[in-house]
Amino acid sequence: MRYLIVFFLCAFMAGTVSAQSDSVQHIPHLEIKKNKRISISKGDSSITVIIDTLIMHDRAYLEFFGKKNVNLQVKNAFIPKRAYISGTDGKNNASNLTMTVRFKELGALYVYAAGRDAFNGTKTYPNGNGGIVVFNYLNDGIVPQQENSKQDHYLEIGTKGGGLVGNANTDIYNIFSRIGTGARPLGQLPEGQVYSGSPGKDGKSEIKEVNGF
């Protein structure tokens, strides 16, 4: 166990965390500095992450990559300004997130389980679906609010499907406008960017007050 903790600490300092192959991870203390990102990317596609103390400074980012289902439990969260948590399966679909958090300090937290767009220029996966988010907050901590983003204790959850930016008519026009303009008329368009296809399905979210973990 001592060697695993040392491994995590070194990985955090490098800015990226590779999760253990085990489906349950326990992190005693995680602090993400201002404007820094930590990505939990390896391991099982369905994981449980338990963090005793989570400190996220202004515009800090915690991402779960390549995960279909994430169960995140944060026993004590300190988020003085704004921070971001997101999850994706790596194929444009959002992760399904179950989060249970005790807020000791909360400026603003943005949880993104939104589908990603197909026209990202590097992948050919379809427009992604939004995820299902169940957000549980402990009633002995700060109660989040969703009414005013300019006030403290703000919580926002995004679960929209991908592919809402482009449309088929514009995509088809882009294709035909390049035909006959020389060799490889479509060569300058990255894969997946010409035609984005149907939008992904929206996900859904639920926020609940709970007594404990």
pLDDT tens-digit profile of 51-70?
A: 999 999 999 999 999 999 99
Whether 137 has a pLDDT exceeding 80, the answer reads: yes
CA–CA dist 210, 200 (Å, integer): 31
Neighbouring C-alpha atoms within 13 Å toward the C-beta of 186: 14
Comparing 53 with 123, the larger pLDDT belongs to 53
Q: What percent of the chain has pLDDT over 70?
A: 71
How many C-beta neighbours within 10 Å does residue 37 have? Answer: 15
Q: Tell me: the pLDDT tens digits for 95-118?
A: 999 999 999 999 999 999 999 988
CA-nearest of 48, 11, 47, 18 to 32 is 11
Position 128 scores a pLDDT of: 92
The domain total for the chain is 1
Taking a C-beta distance cutoff of 8 angstroms, is the pair 81, 103 a contact? no
CA–CA dist 71, 94 (Å, integer): 14
List the domain range (segments joined by +) for residue 190.
2-210
Whether 72 has a pLDDT exceeding 90, the answer reads: yes
> Sign of the C-alpha dihedral, residues 150, 151, 152, 156?
negative
CA-nearest of 119, 101, 7 to 55 is 101
